Amino acid sequence: MSKRMVVLGGDATGMSAASTALRHAGDGELEVVVLERGHYTSYSACGIPYWISGHVPDRDQLIARSPGEHREAGIDVRMRTEATAIDLEKRTVSVRGVDDGDTYELGFDELVIATGAVPTVPPLEGADAQGIFGVQSLEQGEEIVKDLADGDRRRAVVVGAGYIGVEMAEAMVVRGIETTVVEHAPEPFTQVDPDMGALIREAMEGMGITVITGTSADGFDVGEDGRVTAVRAGDTVLPADIVIMGLGVKPNAALAADAGLTIGPSGGIVTDVRMQAAPGVWAGGDCVEVRHRLSGAGVHIALGTHANKHGRIIGTNIAGGYGAFPGVIGTAISKVCDLEIGRSGLTEREAAAAGFGYVATSVESTTTAGYWPGAEMMTVKVLAEQRTGRLLGAQIVGRQGSGKRIDVFATAIWNGMTVEEMTFMDLSYAPPFSPVWDAVLVAARKAAKEVQGEIPASPV
């Protein structure tokens, strides 16, 4: 007898869960229904800034699979359709058509909650003016692209200097728009430590971006036509033809909370390692919290790569297999023009908050042999636990070719390596690819010295 899998949200986690489960289920064993509030399925939200910048010319390039393609694969995708309630007892979902308002009840055997995240929007005066945009959905991306095409937008203000903030700053600069970024923290990009953030500020300023820090956006000036004309930030008035809000996101977990599922301190739905929130109820992606392997804490990290993993794990489990999510270590990468930013593990603030005693060191290195014509500079910061020397975190800020080295640190953190163990690791070397001592090794060595002293003592 066929069982019904109902999926709330048709993006990374939801569609990946649906596809994986259906692929592994026996013929006719599984009926899969996906409810998606928006107009699109399976698209790369992370790619939106690059569509706006023009790097990616066509919106459809961001769409991995359309509703029609999913239907051809046997998935009952219902677009512009949302769930308004979950009844865990009756095992039903209340469904509503976004456009027509029609409602009905839908029973499920397995439920996947993949409702994503919602943007953090402070209640600022004038925030509903025209010309102010978020960048969470493809629909919002479309609005920005249309708006930029519609008129002469000479000055952009980006509120928030995190991932979306810096990526949208790049997009604006690439489009030739005079760009100002406003960030309430002392340095941009609080996903790295302030000393690394200062390097990002310097580089962004070198690209012609005005970076205003230690200042919050307080409100917006609005013209008679209802369109934003400026961002007010402290004593400053920043004229703006367009405003991008990049203040981050929080889990969209209200439906799950109302149904009685456990919500963690991060605001995300709590699941077990198999991404199960209650018997037969699964949750993944931007609406859940996951375990940080270093701090042990539940954290909310909205990233497509985790969302896709969750979807595959959920689909595997629903199909009768075994999938378990091993947690996260906070790895991420971004760029502003040719400046690359990578991080993994804990920053100083995060390490201190988790209770770790640590040493922190930074080194400068080149991406290739110093004499190689394409050599670029990078700064690598490493945190190691005091006494044990266990690698707790790494941050990279550098030019082209530096950022992806963060994956080496990520793999080392994943395995609980000490910086001393890393010092003589067999990493690849040839002049076009790294100095004879790769930056990873140099940083590990300096951190090991901090932990153990300049010259390791003889044991004999």
Site for a second copy, residues 308 to 337, rule: CB under 8 A: 308-309, 313, 316-317, 319-323, 325-335
Which amino acid is present at 261?
L
Residue from 412, 443, 447, 448 in contact with a second copy (CB under 8 A)? 412
Site for a second copy, residues 156 to 175, rule: CB under 8 A: 163
Q: Which is nearer to a second copy, 132 or 448 (CB)?
A: 448
Does residue 430 interact with a second copy by CB under 8 A? Answer: yes
CB atoms under 10 Å from CB of 208, counted, come to: 10
Task: Identify which of 291, 322, 292, 285 has the alpha carbon closest to the alpha carbon of residue 306.
Answer: 285
Q: Which is nearer to a second copy, 217 or 341 (CB)?
A: 341
Q: SS3 for 143? A: helix
- Asked if residues 396 and 379 have their Cβ atoms less than 8 Å apart, the reply is yes
Q: Which is nearer to a second copy, 163 or 358 (CB)?
A: 163
Shortest separation between residue 34's beta carbon and a second copy, angstroms: 19
Does residue 433 interact with a second copy by CB under 8 A? Answer: yes
Cα distances from 24 to residues 35, 311, 320, 342, 373, in angstroms, run 21, 14, 8, 36, 50
Q: Which is nearer to a second copy, 163 or 220 (CB)?
A: 163
Shortest separation between residue 202's beta carbon and a second copy, angstroms: 21
Candidates 90-98, 204-212, 365-373, 377-385; binding stretch for a second copy (CB under 8 A): 365-373
Candidates 104-112, 115-123, 229-237, 427-435; binding stretch for a second copy (CB under 8 A): 427-435
Q: Which is nearer to a second copy, 223 or 431 (CB)?
A: 431
Residue from 253, 434, 448, 451 in contact with a second copy (CB under 8 A)? 434
Helix axis angle, 163-174 relative to 194-206, nearest 10°? 10
Residue from 72, 349, 386, 429 in contact with a second copy (CB under 8 A)? 429
Shortest separation between residue 269's beta carbon and a second copy, angstroms: 19
Q: Give the span between the Cα atoms of 360 and 334, in whole angstroms.
A: 22
Shortest separation between residue 123's beta carbon and a second copy, angstroms: 30
**What tokens were used for 184?**
């309430």
Task: Identify which of 85, 114, 106, 158 has the alpha carbon closest to the alpha carbon of residue 12.
Answer: 114
Does residue 305 interact with a second copy by CB under 8 A? Answer: yes
Here's the x/- map for a second copy, 2-31, by CB under 8 A: it reads as ----------x-----------x-------
Q: Which residue has the tokens 């954290």?
A: 299
Candidates 116-124, 178-186, 222-230, 400-408; binding stretch for a second copy (CB under 8 A): 400-408
Candidates 55-63, 71-79, 249-257, 263-271; binding stretch for a second copy (CB under 8 A): 55-63
Site for a second copy, residues 201 to 240, rule: CB under 8 A: none
Here's the x/- map for a second copy, 236-265, by CB under 8 A: it reads as ------------------------------
Q: Give the span between the Cα atoms of 382 and 422, in whole angstroms.
A: 12
Provide DSSP, 336-400. Answer: ETTEEEEEEE--HHHHHHTT--EEEEEEEEESS-TTSTT--EEEEEEEEETTT-BEEEEEEEEST
Handedness of CA 113, 117, 118, 122 (dihedral sign): positive
Look at strands 339-345 and 332-336 and give their pairing: antiparallel
46 is catalytic: yes
Q: Which residue has the tokens 């009926």?
A: 31
- What is the DSSP secondary structure assignment for residue 125, as one 8-state letter? B
Does residue 50 interact with a second copy by CB under 8 A? Answer: yes
Which of 3, 44, 46, 177 is labelled catalytic?
46
Helix axis angle, 12-24 relative to 304-318, nearest 10°? 30
Q: Which is nearer to a second copy, 131 or 197 (CB)?
A: 197
Shortest separation between residue 295's beta carbon and a second copy, angstroms: 13
List, by residue number, the catalytic residues.
Answer: 46
